Amino acid sequence: MGKTYIFGHKNPDTDSIISSLVMTEFEKRTGNAEVVACRLGMVNKETEYILNYVGIEAPELIEDLEDGEEVIIVDTANPGELIPNLENVKIKKIVDHHQVLLNTSYPVFYRAEPVGCTETIMYKLYKEHNLQIDKKIATLMLSAIISDTLLLKSPTCTEDDINAVKELSKIAEINYETYGMDMLKAGTDLSSFTIEQILALDAKAISLKDKKSIIAQVNTASIPEVMKMKSDLEAGMNKIINENGLDLFMLLITDIINSNTQTIALGNSANIVEKAYNVKLQDNTALLEGVVSRKKQVVPIMTENA
């Protein structure tokens, strides 16, 4: 039997990295020893904080795989976010909490639920298989749920996510609110990144009907701090718009303390933002009150108004 490579989406967030690690552990403990935790991009500051806290290495960085290899996909079912030759590898399993965008020509193990985080599903899988969750795994799991739900405050957060975090924080012996805020704040440290890197940290290519768009997000504890870089960010965004023929580049600068988002929108279709949120872009920017979730509060309403 060959190896099975386990990875989440490109521009990996905390959930993608941790799902790869936790799924790898799950496979080993259920009899599939030949598994390799992988990632399709650099580890962000928040994830780095968590890995250091737990004392564990990041998954192996890969760019592609040879045809015919076996893979397990976590935290996405979007071919555009995966390896280029996805059609030529054998997908064994998918564990995800997003929309279904991937097709297969053979039956697979597919486990998805509309919850806030892949780890909430992994937590269920461990329980269903009567696998004990140790402190390390519990800390990893709860960190990912805190990350994806912004400390259980995002509208994507469900009862299942809350229950999982409460149970896991007991096992991990962690005050999840204090730990979670420290972890989220660590993720807002942009000091070591170039403008290009900031714009790529959590950028998703999204088609708003026929409008070619990128919607990128950065978390912060202080919107004014990020807005100091506004003109540099705009220059970077315009460069990406020109190079990729985009109709829209929307940057979400999300205040994780107060649960608001300042957006900078550039491109010929920037006015979709005005229509969608009933705001006026002043100098390309507007405050979107109460908006924190790209998945629930941005993509659907932007699509509708495109």
Q: 110: Cβ–Cβ under 8 A, 6 or more apart, which residues?
A: 93, 94
Fill in the DSSP letter of residue 21.
H
Does residue 110 bind a copy of itself (CB under 8 A)?
Answer: yes
E strand or H helix at 5, and its extent?
strand 4-7
Q: Which of 85, 88, 99, 271 binds a copy of itself (CB under 8 A)?
A: 99
- Residue 174 to residue 140: CA distance in whole angstroms: 12
Q: Which of residues 121-160 bind a copy of itself (CB under 8 A)?
A: 124, 128
- Residue 299 to residue 303: CA distance in whole angstroms: 6
Comparing CB distances to a copy of itself, the nearer of 104 and 163 is 104
* Least distance CB 77 / a copy of itself (angstroms): 8
- Helix (H, G, I), strand (E, B), or coil: what is residue 93? strand
Does residue 104 bind a copy of itself (CB under 8 A)?
Answer: yes
Does residue 31 bind a copy of itself (CB under 8 A)?
Answer: no
Does residue 111 bind a copy of itself (CB under 8 A)?
Answer: yes
Q: Which of 33, 101, 175, 177 binds a copy of itself (CB under 8 A)?
A: 101
Q: Which of 86, 108, 131, 227 binds a copy of itself (CB under 8 A)?
A: 108
Comparing CB distances to a copy of itself, the nearer of 114 and 290 is 114
Count Cβ atoms within 10 A of the Cβ of residue 129 and give its class: 0-12 exposed, 13-18 middle, 19 or more buried. exposed
Whether residue 74 contacts residue 6, with contact meaning beta carbons closer than 8 Å, is answered with: yes
Comparing CB distances to a copy of itself, the nearer of 61 and 100 is 100
Radius of gyration of the chain (CA): 19
**Which among 154, 107, 199, 159 is positioned nearest to 294, based on CA atoms?**
154
- Residue 145 to residue 19: CA distance in whole angstroms: 11
Does residue 112 bind a copy of itself (CB under 8 A)?
Answer: yes
Count of chain residues binding a copy of itself (CB under 8 A): 22
Which listed range, 109-117, 138-146, 192-200, 213-221, lies at the site for a copy of itself (CB under 8 A)?
109-117
Does residue 57 bind a copy of itself (CB under 8 A)?
Answer: no
Judged by the rule CB under 8 A, the positions of this chain that interact with a copy of itself are 97-114, 124, 128, 295, 300
